[in-house]
Structure 1
Amino acid sequence: MQWENYVVVVTGGASGLGLGVVEAVVEKGGRAVIFDLDEAKAEEVCDRFGERVTHAHMNVTDEDSVKAGIKHAIDTFGAIHACVNCAGIAPPQKILGRKGVMPLENFESVIQVNLVGTFNVMRLAAEQMANNEPYSTHGERGVIINTASVAAFEGQMGQIAYSASKAGVVGMSLPAARDLSSTGIRVNAIAPGLFRTPLAEGLGEKVVASLEETVEFPKRLGLPKEFAHLVTFLIENEYMNGEVVRLDGSIRMAAK
């Protein structure tokens, strides 16, 4: 594939890991479409990069909203070649805590955003990618990269909803790749560990320093640009398909 005129949709692209992906896509020479609810931050990113980046105010859990975002991407850039799903939430709560049992709607809201939202964007992006002319000798038409988490494998206390949602993202990877193989669309997932995002930085440097000590090597949090580097590798390497790749400094999460 060639990055020139290559169009990448990024959910949650206004900040954190998603912003790192947008920056990497533009640096490579491609174009990015930010799907994000934070319109102010998304517009700031668009102002930085000019015509190479556009934004759609979009709720991943709403079918009509995603369809409108997809239409905006096509109207602006003419195609969608890759979709990177970074949007997600992670409110901590135990099944049974001091305030009682976890309300069912709290569990459902995390599943809805992280798992159903990922599927919703993936399916509608794939529908559009299937219309692309093949851009490789083996008929590739598109790439989907979903964001899981190491919590899918080693969920900590208070992560029951988050871990379940990310385990679902892991579980979708191979069947999605198989479902879309006949159309020339690849599907992979990344399971990041602890990364230096606005959420992590909001914890304070003392907390961040203690988290860094739990990483085997290097003793630090991951950087969004490192996540983005893996994203671009997965886009460029045509033989990577149906895989879930951990990116975590060899961390294995403890119970708490």
Structure 2
Amino acid sequence: MNLDGITAVVTGGASGLGAATARKLAKNGVKVGIFDLNEEKGMALAKEIGGAFAKVNVTSEEDVDAGFAAIRAKLGQERILVNCAGTGNAIKTASRDRETGEIKHFPLDKFELIIQINLIGTFRCIAKSAAGMMTLDPIDGERGVIINTASVAAEDGQVGQASYSASKGGVVGMTLPIARDLAQELIRVNTILPGIFDTPLLQGAPEKVKAALAAQVPNPSRLGNPDEYASLAIEMCRNGYFNGEDVRLDGAIRMAPR
């Protein structure tokens, strides 16, 4: 796909992987719309790259509809959607307090919240964006490209990651069926599974912790750079034969149980 002059929407685009992707798309001539809950950062980035911002909670159908409508009114119908909105928690399925012996189970509302954001929120944006892309005329045999963000935790989740792994595993699991659903409409769908990246979730961690995490990565032994995620997203957009794939981007790490 020729990127120059087309429109993209990046969810979770105000920071981390999403912000890096928004910047790289803009550098390649794309008009970028940003969905995020952080209005201050989102508006600042949109101004920086000459794009547009919409405050969107991906768990809300009303928010998502309004967000797409606002971006399309300013920048036109998107041909690219990059789903980076997501979050996680760390809670064991069931656990025992070592001091009191009290047994607790995973609060189901907290499990459901992660599924709502990471899995259902991603699917909601895919469905809405794909419907919009279907109104476009193909360019060089393509109407659009959708890129999702899963995690290596989809395949080797750690202790306490049941909800996160389930949500990201769901994103991986739906990639090929959605690519098949949209094949006749000339819309491609792929998913990136990042490993340990230097994003805002880790930037507040002590340097010793970050160094220990980096040492777990076989090669290169460092944290991933968000720009490396963005580079892969750009290639998935440009390469017209890239479809229905789930790609790890992790320096060959395989996560230990803890």
Both proteins in one fold, TM over 0.5: yes
**In the TM superposition, what whole-angstrom CA distance separates every residue of 1:227-254 from its partner, at most 9, and x where no partner exists?**
0000000000000000000000000000
What's the offset of the Cα at 1:109? 0.3
Q: Is 1:86 equivalent to 2:104 in the alignment?
A: no
Letter in 1 for 2:28: K
The residue correspondences of 1:68-217 to structure 2 (distance < 5 A) are: 68-97=66-95, 98=97, 100-136=104-140, 139-217=141-219
What's the offset of the Cα at 1:115? 0.2
Q: Note the residue ranges of structure 1 that are not aligned, 5 or more in a row.
A: none
**In the TM superposition, what whole-angstrom CA distance separates every residue of 1:37-83 from its partner, at most 9, and x where no partner exists?**
1001101112222xx31000011111111111111121011211010
Once residues 249 and 84 of structure 1 are traced to their aligned partners in structure 2, the CA distance between those partners, rounded to angstroms, is 22
**In the TM superposition, what whole-angstrom CA distance separates every residue of 1:15-36 from its partner, at most 9, and x where no partner exists?**
0000000010111111110000
Q: Note the residue ranges of structure 2 that are not aligned, 5 or more in a row.
A: 98-102
Once residues 217 and 9 of structure 1 are traced to their aligned partners in structure 2, the CA distance between those partners, rounded to angstroms, is 32
What's the offset of the Cα at 1:3? 2.0
Once residues 30 and 61 of structure 2 are traced to their aligned partners in structure 1, the CA distance between those partners, rounded to angstroms, is 27
SS in 1 for 2:190: strand
What's the offset of the Cα at 1:160? 0.4
Once residues 18 and 136 of structure 2 are traced to their aligned partners in structure 1, the CA distance between those partners, rounded to angstroms, is 24
Count of residue pairs the alignment pairs up: 252
Once residues 89 and 107 of structure 2 are traced to their aligned partners in structure 1, the CA distance between those partners, rounded to angstroms, is 13
Identity %: 48
User: In the alignment, which residue of structure 2 is the partner of 1:250?
Assistant: 252
Q: CA RMSD in A?
A: 0.9
What's the offset of the Cα at 1:91? 1.2
- Structure-2-length-normalised TM-score: 0.96
Once residues 77 and 116 of structure 1 are traced to their aligned partners in structure 2, the CA distance between those partners, rounded to angstroms, is 26
Letter in 2 for 1:177: A
What's the offset of the Cα at 1:163? 0.2
Determine if contact 2:153/2:168 at 8 Å carries over to the other structure. Answer: yes
SS in 2 for 1:153: helix
SS in 1 for 2:147: strand
- Structure-1-length-normalised TM-score: 0.97
User: In the alignment, which residue of structure 1 is the partner of 2:100?
Assistant: none
User: In the alignment, which residue of structure 2 is the partner of 1:32?
Assistant: 32
What's the offset of the Cα at 1:207? 0.4
